[in-house]
Amino acid sequence: MNPLNSPLEVGVRALVLLSETFPRRLDVAQLVYLDHAMLHSGDLTDGPSSLHPKLPVGPGELGMRRRLIEQGLVVLMRAGLADMIATDDGFLYGATEEAASFLNVLEAPYVGLLTKRASWLVSTYMHEETDVRDGMKQITQRWFDRLTADTPHPAEGDVL
């Protein structure tokens, strides 16, 4: 079993986010954006240092993250730590009453670091409506800017 990005690890990360936003519910797209921002908080304005290193795949990581978040949510729901409701806008996930107690029992320093970053994210970026599409565009634009800054551009008249 690969412990990195396993359904259990991603589930714990999602649970930290759901607990910080409790009683508010989030959809998968919001969880994907917030999970990325929580791990790469150093890329955000005035954010705490990132927990994970920058990866060369950049936004490609976001595509994989959705599947991982969905798998993590299944683990949480089976354990009774999260639930799902269907609305006219789709499925929304929330932490159950037991979630905070479960997280308080975990002693791993990593969980404490996740909680601090999730708390910062919620207080800094979570308003009535988090525009997930705008957040994703900002992430991909920063990646594209870094990529093109390191790539020489052809001079006018050069054949590509």
What's the CA gap between 91 and 25, in Å, rounded? 9
Q: How distant, in Å, are the alpha carbons of 40, 58, 70, 148, 149 from that of 112?
A: 16, 25, 23, 36, 35
Q: What is the pTM of this model?
A: 0.80
* Total length of the chain: 160
From first to last of its 160 residues, the chain has per-residue pLDDT tens of: 455 678 899 999 999 999 999 998 999 988 998 898 888 887 777 778 888 877 665 556 667 788 999 999 999 999 999 999 999 989 999 999 999 999 999 989 999 999 999 999 888 877 655 565 666 666 666 656 665 676 554 555 545 4
